[in-house]
Structure 1
Amino acid sequence: MKIAFYGSSLISAYWNGAATYYRGLLRALAEKGYDITFYEPDVYDRQKNRDIDPPDWCKVVVYEGTVEALGRVAAEARRADIVVKASGVGFEDDLLLSQVLSAARSGALKIFWDVDAPATLAELRANPGHPLRLALADVDLVLTYGGGEPVVDAYRAVGAADCVPIYNALDPETHHPVPENRRFAADLGFLGNRLPDREARVEHFFLEPAFRLPGQTFLLGGSGWQDKPMPPNVGYIGHVSTRDHNAFNVTPKAVLNISRASMAENGFSPATRVFEAAGAGACLITDHWEGIDLFLKPGEEVLVARDGQDVADLLAGLSRERAKTIGERALARVLAEHTYVHRAEKVDAIFRAHAARGEAAA
């Protein structure tokens, strides 16, 4: 079956946190025989900051950030059996959704794939006339990369025919244990871009513990933090290429996951960072969110902090030996239950069930 997938970017993770998710899941689907074309706009300097070449398992079409170019690539949806418009493409999202749905042929499976469901749903609830909310009548299925039953119920309440979470996971070919790199040496590392709904939580869960533990070293990676006031024991290294993520995860004694505010409030939304860190065998400290025990066991496979004081206490009492044990257990768990091969099994079943219903109706 042919898939036309319209997303932010497959080949650049620059200001594009969904890249890891797209790569892992679509490669796993390609290995099942799907013929995939990924359409991405040339915006936000992503093409100047590619971190992978176009893969051999997926055709990548990069189009100019113009309405005319958008129209040309949207028209190609008519060739596909499965048409996917992801959230947060970054250029004329509402127009792209409208044109893709119009171009899709009768009988094609039309999907809206939401990679930030809590934020999207907040917009839909606030605006009954939102273009996406009106378009849901023409969408066969909403897939999300997290959210659990709260997101499923919320999407059905605003008009979705159905909603199924397809959670983030591990691609073990990309994220795996590597030797340590002195460049990333620290007691605690955090990797994340500076975003409005994350900054206050970074202050609380990362910078506050750094103030509390002046004798320990902290390492911050990600774009946008260069003018942020920080204590002297925090080192800032800017954007970290995906090719260095494994070393960043495995070198510090522990690494920190801080969910965006909307994700933490909703729960059941593990970030890609959770599985990337576990896949490298890192000891992960994460902020608390409902549902984490579905993915990793608190206290044994992951450490959970409800506030900055918890982070400081956990870090102060964490030996290198215990951190290593926690990382090894996390790696074993995600390899056994949470790879993109596991997620692709579920997606494949959904796609085949739709195709079977279409054949029966015909």
Structure 2
Amino acid sequence: MRSLNIAILGLSITSSWGNGHATTFRGLVKELDKAGHAVTFLERNVPWYSDNRDLPNPEYCRLVLYEDLAELQSAHVEAVRSADLVIVGSYVPEGVEVCAHVIRQARGVKAFYDIDTPVTLARLENNDCAYLAKDQIARFDLYLSFTGGPTLELLEQKYRSPAARALYCSVDPDFYYPVSTPVRWDLGYLGTYSDDRQPPLEKLMLDAARNWPQGLFTAAGAQYPESVQWPANLQYLPHVPPDEHRDFYCAQRYTMNITRADMIQAGYSPSVRLFEAGACGVPIISDYWQGLDELLTPGKEILISRSAADTLAFLKELPEEERVRIGQNARKKILARHTSSRRARELVGYYEETRGS
């Protein structure tokens, strides 16, 4: 396989503040670079990310920060025209116009990478998606989706995508692995606030904390409103930067995984936090959605909670040997199937498949 020239127009690679896109792009681009491919990452220079950059100068790609759509369309058009593969990510500012620009200018394979597929499809149906138009799906050669399963058929049959393929989130094992650190919390959670995730977080974790005052809990993430009533035995952290995620996970006996409502409905939508925590060997307590058991086996590699009582039963009653074993089993599965290097190979494979069709 020859080296590819790849252009990615994504939400952010320089800042992980309030988004899960940056860590996904970092792992993927790093592995593409390692495999000999040249990547240009084009990112809109917006204040909320420019004020919170934890990777201002990534070493594994050429970074282009552009100020507005006009600059992208004029000063950086050659990056799109000359690329073998051009990828537009979900949630890019003025994304409909960016997609139109790429569709018009790209000469190589054109792909849309949806890190928010169920949310995107719900917004398309409501005609309020600002980063992708319905008729643009058929004009991309590839639709790369964080969601697998039946959603891929929907994209091809209803929206006329020539090729919808799962490109799940992933983890970089160079950064996420078990470390010996003092355990500070019985259960922790890492995730940006969203209206639809808050009720299950309350039900499965916060109520568990309230019902077990002796337990120690933590939740970390941006954009939580002041109206959230945190239990007295829970430590809230507004932000944990990526280079501290590993230590954050490893300081927990268990970690909590909560899924957005649209993603539960679609199924087959693993969170990047699920793979990060699992790679650290920390046992995961999760809500349930269709397809989860195809990624991690319940009871063996992950624990499923449907109530605060379920959560507390795991925290208080599961033997220590079994707790450790579940974490080790998940780590083994994730390192075999869900690393960034695996995703980079899958992406190149999809490119080859498209070019050969």
Residue identity opposite 2:105 in structure 1: A
Q: What is the Cα-based RMSD across aligned positions, in Å?
A: 2.0
SS at match of 1:195: coil
Superposed, which structure 2 residues align to 1:49-128 within 5 Å? Answer: 49-64=52-67, 66-72=68-74, 75=77, 76-89=79-92, 91-105=93-107, 108-127=108-127
Superposed, which structure 2 residues align to 1:1-362 within 5 Å? Answer: 1-64=4-67, 66-72=68-74, 75=77, 76-89=79-92, 91-105=93-107, 108-127=108-127, 132-146=133-147, 148-156=148-156, 157-180=158-181, 185-225=184-224, 227=226, 228-357=228-357
CA contact (8 A) 2:18 2:221 kept: no
Cα deviations by residue, 1:160-183 (Å, 9 ceiling, x for unpaired)? 12200111222101211223256x
Shift of 1:53: 4.1
SS at match of 1:246: helix
Residue identity opposite 1:77 in structure 2: V
Residue identity opposite 2:303 in structure 1: L
Separation (CA, whole Å) in 1 of partners of 2:150 and 2:211: 36
Q: How many residues align?
A: 350
Shift of 1:319: 4.2
Shift of 1:320: 4.0
Separation (CA, whole Å) in 1 of partners of 2:35 and 2:151: 28
Shift of 1:4: 0.8
Separation (CA, whole Å) in 1 of partners of 2:173 and 2:94: 34
Residue 285 to residue 136, structure 1, CA distance change in 2 (3 Å): same
Residue 128 to residue 180, structure 1, CA distance change in 2 (3 Å): closer
Residue identity opposite 2:187 in structure 1: L
SS at match of 1:274: helix
> Gaps (5+ residues) in structure 2?
none
TM-score by length of 1: 0.91
Separation (CA, whole Å) in 1 of partners of 2:293 and 2:83: 38
Cα deviations by residue, 1:12-64 (Å, 9 ceiling, x for unpaired)? 11112111211122222222222110111122521221222423221111112
Residue identity opposite 1:100 in structure 2: V
Shift of 1:313: 2.3
> Gaps (5+ residues) in structure 1?
358-362
TM-score by length of 2: 0.92
CA contact (8 A) 1:295 1:338 kept: no
Separation (CA, whole Å) in 2 of partners of 1:197 and 1:280: 27
**Where does structure 1 differ by over 6 angstroms across 4 or more consecutive aligned residues?**
none
Separation (CA, whole Å) in 2 of partners of 1:181 and 1:128: 47
Separation (CA, whole Å) in 2 of partners of 1:254 and 1:355: 44
